[in-house]
Chain A
Amino acid sequence: MRLVILFAALTYLSLAIETSVPYWIQTRILIPNLIVILAVDLGLRHHGVVPAFLAFAIGYATDAFSGSTLGINAFLITAIYLLTYEISSRLLVTNAAVGATFVFLGVIVTALGALILADGAAGLAAAGPMLPGIALQAAVSALVAPLMFAFAAMLKRVVGLPVALARE
C-alpha cells in the first residue's frame, strides 16, 4: 500500500511538472521524461504483481494528459517496466548508472513506440528527422535519472520501503 501511495504521489508530481514546465520552457526536448524514470525505478527495484499494475496505472495517468488515444502510454510504460524487470532480474548490479542506461533506452523506445502506435508506418517514417531531438531528451532524462532515483530512495526510506531490489 505504501508503494502504491508513494508512486501515486511521484506520478502526480511528475505529471504536474511535465504539463506545467513546457508552458514556460518551450524547448520540450530539454525537459526529462520523468514518467519513464519512474517506470525504470519500478522495474529495477520492485519486482511483483503490484508494481506491474503500478506501471500500467502510471502510463494510463500519462494518457490522461497526452495525445488523443487512450492506451498508448499505458502500453509503453508497462512494456518499459516489463523489459527493465526482465533484464534487471538477470543482472548482478542495478545501480544508478544501469538505471540511467535503461532510462536513455526507455525514452527512445517510448518516443518511437508512441509514433508507431499512433501513426503506424507513417509515424516510423516521420521519426527520422525527430531522432536527434528524441536522443537529446533521452540523454537529459538519463542525466536526471540518478537524482530522481535518489529522491525516490529517500522517500522510500521515509515511508519504510526497501530501497534495494524487493520481490513480493
Chain B
Amino acid sequence: MKGTFLWRNRVVLTAGALLVISLHLLSGGLSRGGYAAAPALAILEALRPVQAATARLGDGASSIVHNYLDLVQVHQENTALRAEIAALKGQQARIAELQTENQHLAELLELKDVLGLGAVAATVIGSDATGLSHTLVLGQGSSSGLKPGMAVLSSRGVVGRIIGVSIHAARVLLIDDHNSALDGFDQRSRARGIVAGMVDDGIIMKYVDRSEDLKPGDPIVTSGLDGIFPRGLLVGAVARVHREGPGLFLSVQVTPAVDFHALEQVLVVTQQAPAAPPDIRG
C-alpha cells in the first residue's frame, strides 16, 4: 500500500474530497433544514451553556469593573466602608440591571399585546462566529416553541428571522445580513420594495419604482406579504435616495430602527401573521 500514488497523495486527495463535499453543502444540495444540518444544530446546542454563562458573566463583570473604578477615587475611605460601598454598589448595579431587563421585557410584552399574535421572549447569548455574516444566538430553542422561519422583533422594530433551532438555542439571521431580504414599504408614499442587507453593512430598499416619491426620514415598515413578518412593523427610516444613473429602480439606503449590537432580549413571533391587505404599490 505504502509507496502507491494513493498513499503518497492521501492528504491532498482527502482534502480535495472534503472540498467537494463542502461545495455540495454550499450549492444547496443539502439545505440547512436537511440531515446535513443536524450536526450543526447539535454543535449549536453544545455551545449554548458556555454562551449563556459568558453572557451573564459579561453583564456581571461590567458592573464589577464600574464599581471598582468608582472605588479607586475614594482612597481615604477605610477598608470596611469601601467593602460596604462595594457591596451596596454591587447590589445597586444588579438592581439597575434587573430594572433594565424588566423594562425591556415590559416593552416586549407591550409589543406582544399590540401584535395580538403568539410570541415568546428570548435572550441574546451570542453573535456570529466570523463577523462576516450578521447572525445572533438566542438562549431559547425548540423547547420554547421556536422554529426556523419565525420572525424576531424588538421593541424598536424588526430584528430578523430564525434560521436554525436546536433544543435550547436558536440562530437569527439579522435583517442587515447580505443574505437577508424582507418585503417592506414606505409608510408615507406607500411605495413597496425589498429591504435587503448589504455585504459592507447597512440596509437598502431595492426594486422601488423610479417614479416613487421617497424622502429621507420616511419610515419603512413591513408589508406582511412575505408571510414571515407581521404587517406594519418598523424596519428603519430612509437615509438617502439615489436618483442618479440609469435603471428602472431607485436605490434607497435605509437606517435600521434597531441597534443590533445592543440587543439583549427579543420577541419571537410563534404564530403566523394573517395575510396583509394589498393597499400598497409596487
Contacts and interface: CB of A to CB of B under 8 A. Distances in A.
Interface stretch (A66-74, A95-103, A143-151): A66-74
A126 B132 contact: no
Interface stretch (B6-14, B109-117, B149-157, B227-235): B6-14
A15 B47 contact: yes
Contact of A20 (B32, B40, B54): B54
A15 to B, nearest CB: 6
Interface residues of A, number: 60
B177 interface: yes
Contact of A18 (B25, B30, B124, B130): B130
A64 B24 CA distance: 16
B62 A19 contact: no
Given A19-B127, A68-B163, A82 B23 contact: no
B135 A68 contact: yes
A137 B130 CA distance: 11
A127 B133 CA distance: 13
Main secondary structure of the interface of A (DSSP, over half): helix
Nearest to A48: B11
Name the residue among A20, A52, A61 with the largest chain B CB count within 10 angstroms. A20
Contacts of A24: 58, 62
B25 A71 contact: yes
A60 interface: yes
A19 B199 contact: no
Contact of A67 (B18, B22, B132): B132
Contacts of A118: 132-133, 178-179, 199
Given A49-B11, A78-B22, A26 B129 contact: no
B22 A65 contact: no
A35 B32 CA distance: 22
Sort chain B's interface into a size bin.
35 or more
Contacts of A51: 11
A130 to B, nearest CB: 6
Contacts of A72: 22, 26
B6 to A, nearest CB: 11
Contact of B132 (A15, A49, A111): A111
Contacts of A16: 47, 50-51, 54
A62 B129 contact: yes
Given A12-B47, A65-B137, A78 B15 contact: yes
Interface string B151-190: 0000000000001100000010100011110000000000
B213 to A, nearest CB: 28
A70 B40 contact: yes
A79 B18 CA distance: 9
B131 interface: yes
Contacts of B256: none
A145 to B, nearest CB: 17
Contacts of A130: 199-200
Contacts of B127: 19-20, 22-23
B129 A65 contact: yes
A55 B125 CA distance: 26
B177 A75 contact: no
Contacts of A29: 131
5 contacts: A22-B131, A52-B11, A66-B135, A67-B130, A79-B19
Given A56-B18, A68-B173, 6 more contacts: A16-B51, A60-B39, A65-B171, A68-B135, A68-B177, A126-B198
Interface of B: 10-12, 14-16, 18-19, 21-27, 30-32, 36-37, 39-41, 43-44, 46-47, 50-51, 54-55, 58, 62, 124-133, 135, 137, 163-164, 171, 173, 177-180, 198-200, 261
Interface of A: 12, 15-16, 18-20, 22-24, 26, 28-29, 31, 33, 35, 47-49, 51-53, 55-56, 59-75, 78-79, 81-82, 85-86, 110-111, 114-115, 117-119, 122-123, 126-127, 129-130, 137
